[in-house]
Amino acid sequence: MSARTHSRPLPATTRGVDIRLPWWALALPVLAFVALLALILHPTDAQAATGDPLITHFLERARELVTR
């Protein structure tokens, strides 16, 4: 009984890999970086949102019920 012989694999190509990113793959991180940098440079512009008293009261009651 003879054993099967395997053919040699094809040699790897020597070409470089051609990968192209979409425009937004670079634009979104740059936009996020600029926005965070602007907040760091002008911290007075970053104001906390004022909460609605009804929502605040509801969240306090929910916290009390959960901690029981």
* Predicted pLDDT at 16: 66
Indicate the pTM of the whole model: 0.39
Residue 51 confidence (pLDDT): 58
pLDDT by residue for the chain (68 residues), tens digit each? 677 777 777 666 666 667 888 888 899 999 999 988 888 887 665 566 565 677 778 778 888 888 87
Whole-angstrom distance, CA of residue 32 vs CA of residue 24:
12
For residue 39, what pLDDT is reported?
81
Half-sphere exposure (Cβ direction) of 55: Cα atoms closer than 13 Å: 4
